[in-house]
Structure 1
């Protein structure tokens, strides 16, 4: 939509926030998973956003997901000798994921997505109102 780049900007933001919500969902789903080996432990996923110029209008920038990286936080080592996944010393390893921080991130991403839906809808209404001015 070269004539109305607002749709490109809002659309790119909604796509980026969708990826962010997906990574939060993945992190929350695996927050309580454990393994018997620290190297096999789930690592939290973190999206990396990047500003990207809108095609045909370098003064405007949308957003894109440059990459989805893994957390470098060390797994949490817990002594659970009765756990069938425990290693020879009785330890299991869990990802270092804070569910509260993930929920805050989820709310933030959801609100950002909703705000961009409103931008999209408002731009659509304004474009329709402009078209109807000539009638």
Structure 2
């Protein structure tokens, strides 16, 4: 594995975490939404990662990165609140809200942003090491 493949691996992780942050932002933005005209409320979405080979197929020392394989919807039921005066209440007087748990989403956001920052740091460290190596050759 060459030194340059570090940038490919860290770059794939940065891209994946960026998509995760976008999904978390969407979930948090819809945390308190109610069921729409079709009767279904917003469902929380989760990013599913998978391993991705970064080099040409068949190479012995191919690096493995990460990519988003799917974005799945949480199948758990939404939160139901009894509020017969709400315009979106069902015949029993219940309003169905999204199934987004804001606390879990904040944890996901912190985890994704830290992973993003760590991969930026990996790229910066690799860049610094490559520059130091070039400086050694100049002496």
Length-normalised TM-score, structure 1: 0.91
Report if the CA contact (8 A) 1:35-1:93 is conserved.
yes
Runs (5+) with no aligned partner, structure 1: none
Q: Which residue of 1 aligns with 2:100?
A: 97
Aligned-pair distance for 1:134? 1.4
After superposition, the Cα gap between the structure-2 partners of 1:37 and 1:92, relative to the gap in structure 1 and judged at 3 Å, is farther
Report if the CA contact (8 A) 1:36-1:86 is conserved.
no
Q: Which residue of 1 aligns with 2:110?
A: 107
Runs of 4+ in 1 over 3 A off after TM superposition: 36-39, 56-59
Report if the CA contact (8 A) 1:38-1:75 is conserved.
no
Aligned-pair distance for 1:79? 1.3
Select 1:69's aligned residue among 55, 72, 81: 72
After superposition, the Cα gap between the structure-2 partners of 1:74 and 1:95, relative to the gap in structure 1 and judged at 3 Å, is same
CA offsets, 1:42-101, max 9 Å, x none?
Answer: 010100000111213554210000011111111122211111121232221111221111
Runs (5+) with no aligned partner, structure 2: none
RMSD between aligned residues: 1.8
Taking the TM superposition and a 5 Å limit, the aligned residue runs for 1:31-42 are: 31-35=31-35, 39-42=39-42
Q: Which has the higher strand share?
A: 1
Length-normalised TM-score, structure 2: 0.88
